[in-house]
Structure 1
């Protein structure tokens, strides 16, 4: 399946850069492989690759990995937002033999000189054999 390539950002991540998702490997060996078409074997790895897609500005990947029932028609990523780090707090199911899973995480970012964070408990399902993002669930407590 062909996808359009997003514009490179000034703080471009290369294949040899540390992966934005926080795993101890390079972008090329981690989320870069997902962005190039290698499917995520777990819901958590899909969530990490989606975070990295925000970090590198890959709108096409974000839309491609969003469930068609909840996917927006388009995204308008703000190139001025700099994604700083990802913390994964918990996950349920979402493994190679599951059909659903959840991941709770905090994504830290810098926007217009102000550091902030987005905390989300996300739902993922398998659609046509691949993990896709459905949307947020309510956060506990």
Structure 2
């Protein structure tokens, strides 16, 4: 069981991990494409490769997924949801989430932009695929940190 009580969830909701994404990591089904996308982002941040594979649609799932010790996921911003799902049943069986994910890799900052596609099959949401674009960032010390803390980068996620 995943338990990170008292720690803010990596997905950026402001909730503790236990109240947010850990419940999905522990087996509860994500009710919307956004919830699944946030839980997958948190799984990347926490190196939960088994969860990532388990939520990936069988038709596009890689055979193996290894933890990446060089990537530190620092922040997530949801840009657009289509359709804009609410909790509960929906008529749509496909959803799209456009997001920015900020990460640091070997002391260099990057932004991943992706428009992810999710499908509803077998009474649950699955990650199908996405169109990713990665951009190298060159932040200055006094820029706001990408983690969403509101603090300056030099005082927050500089390491």
Q: TM-score band (shorter)?
A: 0.7 to 0.9
Aligned length: 129
Inter-partner Cα distance in structure 2 for 1:137 and 1:107: 13
2:124 to 124, 130, 134: 130
Q: How does 1:1-141 map to 2 (within 5 A)?
A: 14-93=4-83, 95=85, 96-97=89-90, 98-137=92-131
Q: How far has the Cα of 1:138 moved from its partner?
A: 7.9
Q: How far has the Cα of 1:52 moved from its partner?
A: 0.2
* Alignment gaps of 5+ in structure 2: 134-159
TM-score normalised to structure 1 length: 0.85
TM-score normalised to structure 2 length: 0.76
1:21-51: CA deviation from partner (whole Å, max 9, x where unpaired): 0102100110011100111110011000000
CA contact (8 A) 2:112 2:132 kept: no
- The structure showing larger relative contact order (alpha-carbon pairs under 8 Å, at least 6 residues apart) is 1
* Alignment gaps of 5+ in structure 1: 7-12
Partner of 2:155 in structure 1?
A: none
RMSD over aligned CA atoms reads: 1.9
